[in-house]
Amino acid sequence: MAAPASPFDQEAFESGIAVLESMGYRVKIPENLFSKHGYLAGSDVERSFQLMKLFEDETVGAIFCVRGGFGSMRLLPLLDFETIRAQPKILIGFSDITTLLVAIYSRCSMVTFHGPLVTTLNKTSEKTRSGLVDAVGSSMPLALKPSKPMILNPGKVSGPVLGGNLTSLCHLMGTPYEPPFDGHLLFLEDRGEAPYRIDRMLSQLSIGGHLDGVAGVVLGSFLDCGSLEDVHTIVTEAFRHRGVPILAGFDLGHGTDNLTLPIGIKAELDTEDASLRFQEPATNEDNA
């Protein structure tokens, strides 16, 4: 367990632990996991030290983030990416955790996982839980299909998947941890951002040239972001001159269904088949 962002509710935490244990995981809880420092789960030094100790621990196979919220980005200058690269683990989380997932993938060439947090597990669906097992425990390549497919621009293309929470991605721009989007399938989701804010963030990425080399776009949930039709229109306009395939409606992000998505593995996006099919398992030795 790691708490790299905000403090968390004890009851939700214990319920999530029970779910993990029912799935067969043996849970290890760091001593300072319950620290609080304002709106953060401990100081930056405490949280970064906790995360690094988990990467260094040879008995740990997977690191589940307890909660998102705020603060993950503050850890990036304090992380030892060489150590992380030498001791790869399954790292799982979403929302504010996006900054860690993307930075570690970019710096360490390590596959990370956009998936449920510990405190969300008890409220998520069985589909979410089985999706987690499929992503991190299967020897077969993962295949995802949107529950409500919406083709915003047709096409078929391949590339490694990169992305997560749109707001968090934008905050990485202009920093040493800015990810390269070229050749990638860009996955986006968000929560509580009005359409004009989504427009502003995509405009920032577009004007900065970050969208020029994107191979395709995968859209997850946009919970409490106003009209979904408006959001889709904004995304379509942002990529209008690039002509890349855009497929929406995936159960990824802030929702009852939050399937686990590997970051950093090559996949094929096919709007005709309405699918995102990975070309290798997420947890084979080459991706560890």
User: Average pLDDT over the chain, rounded to whole?
Assistant: 95
Residue 98 — left, alpha, or beta (φ > 0 → left; ψ -120 to 50 → alpha)?
alpha
Q: Per-residue pLDDT tens for 69-101?
A: 999 999 999 999 999 999 999 999 999 999 999
119 and 8 Cβ atoms separated by less than 8 Å: yes
- pLDDT tens, position by position, 2-37: 999 999 999 999 999 999 999 999 999 998 899 999
Task: Tell the CATH topology of 10-123.
Answer: Rossmann fold (3.40.50)
- Residues 143-287, CATH architecture: 3-Layer(bba) Sandwich (3.50)
DSSP E strands, 117-263:
143-144, 150-153, 156-165, 185-191, 216-223, 246-248, 261-263
**Amino acid 288: pLDDT:** 45
Which one from 72, 189, 221, 268 is the annotated catalytic residue?
189
Nearest to 33 by CA among 108, 105, 95, 119: 119
User: What does each C-alpha distance from 98 to 63, 114, 225, 274 come to in angstroms?
Assistant: 14, 7, 18, 25
Say yes or no: do domains 10-123 and 143-287 share a fold.
Answer: no
CB atoms within 10 A of CB 163: 27
> Which residues partner with 278 through β-bridges?
267
Q: What percent of the chain has pLDDT over 70?
A: 98
Query: Among 95, 106, 168, 221, which one carries the catalytic annotation?
Result: 95
**Active-site hit among 48, 72, 254, 268:** 254
Assess whether 95 carries a catalytic annotation: yes
The pTM for the full model equals 0.96
Q: Please report, for the chain, the start and end positions of each structural domain, with discontinuous segments joined by +.
A: 10-123, 143-287
- SS3 of 182, please? coil
